[in-house]
Amino acid sequence: MVKIKTPADFIEAKGNATAFAQAIGAEASKVRMWKHRNRIPRDAWPEILTAFPDVSIETLKKLEAAGT
């Protein structure tokens, strides 16, 4: 099992940028940019929480702190 420490790790763990984008209904190019910048914007959090029920708001907050 891969240890998820950063937003980029998180995106990769959920399949890759393309699979992640499809799951949350976003453009793959946007998710690739998030991965490159190592940051997931807060306005994407509701879709992430819906698409991935195993993810909590606390997890997203930790990832946000790790990505800065």
Nearest of 28, 62, 30, 29 to residue 43 by alpha carbon? 30
**In this structure, what are the phi and psi dihedrals at residue 51, rounded to the nearest 5 degrees?**
-75, -30
Structural domain includes residue 15: yes
Is 1 a residue whose pLDDT tops 60? no
Structural domain includes residue 32: yes
Is 15 a residue whose pLDDT tops 80? yes
The pLDDT tens digits of the residues spanning 18-64 come to 999 999 999 999 999 999 999 999 999 999 999 999 999 999 999 99
**Alpha-carbon 3 to chain mean position:** 14
Structural domain includes residue 53: yes
This prediction has a pTM of 0.90
Structural domain includes residue 2: no
Task: Report the number of distinct structural domains present in the chain.
Answer: 1
Range of the domain at 46: 7-67
CB 17 within 8 A of CB 23: no
Structural domain includes residue 26: yes
What pLDDT is stored for residue 4 in this prediction? 81
Structural domain includes residue 12: yes
Structural domain includes residue 19: yes
Is 3 a residue whose pLDDT tops 90? no
CB 5 within 8 A of CB 11: no
